[in-house]
Chain A
Amino acid sequence: MITLTRRYRFSASHRLQSPHLSDAENARIYGKCNNPFGHGHDYRLEVTAAGEIDEVTGQLLPLAALDRLVEEQILPRFAFRNINLDVPQLSERVPTTENLALVIADLLEEHWRAYLDGTGARLYRVHIQETDRNGFELLIARASRPVVAEEESVKSYA
């Protein structure tokens, strides 16, 4: 299997506070990350695509198209933003880096075809370093891409 990974950066602030927990529980669970005024990180986002090498271009995907996808659809939503206040998908969910990875993966999947259709490459992994010490990795289930094909084949049998 061959994958290509590109790293991007964005700086954002957040506060970890769950509406399902009391103030005391929030303080206990999230510690410093529960500071009422929030705090920020220089996040590093790794986007990994899996696919086949095009024998003519030698590329798994056109790098410029992946960069455009991330620079147009992902980074502007998070860079220099307060995640709790400025990212609607995370206004109701605690903006842990786990949840952030899930939201970014959904956005990448949503816009993938508009930028990378025809390349045969699929989203394979989203990895976020919140700091040098904290990393979070989401492997995209293989089923999440071929669902369309499966639905089509089901229809053809119906």
Chain B
Amino acid sequence: MTMLVTRKGEFSASHVCRIAGLSDAENRRIFGESAHPNGHGHNYIVEVSVEGDPDPKTGMVIDLQELKDAIEEEVVGPMDHRFLNFEVEPFDRVVPTTENVAREIWRRLDARFQNAAARLAKVRLFETADLYVDVEREGLRA
């Protein structure tokens, strides 16, 4: 039976949501306070779920160390205590909204698990306790 295994990571980072070429007023209308030019920060929490069948010998869907390393190397390491717009690809040209950061985390981890026994099923990214974005494999809840 397919099961989901979820591991949590945390990183604190700053960002600013602005579209180059738009006026201050337009950016403020679209992004609200997040458009303030000097940036601001969040304590992001990411929950990463992989899916697979428990291995008959080990009883595990995935070696948790492998999942922990993936989150550390692909997400927490590169993003923790960074200014996303200036220091993390592709946010020099892609607006680091919660949606885009979640999608980028999905992209990085999905590539990582291409040849693993378990595959990436879901990424949930909390920007604050009251706002989160889920990116999940099509058909996950079917």
Residues of A within 8 A of B (CB): 1-8, 48, 53, 56-60, 62-64, 139
Contact = CB atoms under 8 A, between A and B. Distances in A.
A2 B19 CA distance: 22
A2 B130 contact: no
A5 to B, nearest CB: 5
B32 A4 contact: no
Contacts of B133: 2-5, 60
Closest 9 CB pairs of A and B: A58-B95, A58-B97, A7-B130, A58-B100, A3-B134, A53-B99, A2-B135, A4-B133, A5-B132
Interface of B: 17, 19, 30-32, 94-100, 102-103, 129-138, 140-141
A62 B27 CA distance: 12
A59 B19 CA distance: 12
A4 B99 contact: yes
Nearest to A50: B134
Contacts of A59: 30, 97, 99
Given A56-B19, A58-B94, A58-B97, A63 B103 contact: no
Contacts of A62: 30
A146 B22 CA distance: 34
Contacts of B141: 139
Given A2-B134, A2-B136, A4-B131, 18 more contacts: A1-B134, A1-B135, A1-B138, A2-B133, A2-B135, A3-B133, A4-B98, A4-B99, A5-B131, A5-B132, A6-B131, A48-B134, A57-B30, A58-B17, A60-B99, A60-B133, A63-B32, A63-B131
Contact of A6 (B19, B97, B130, B134): B130
Nearest to A53: B99
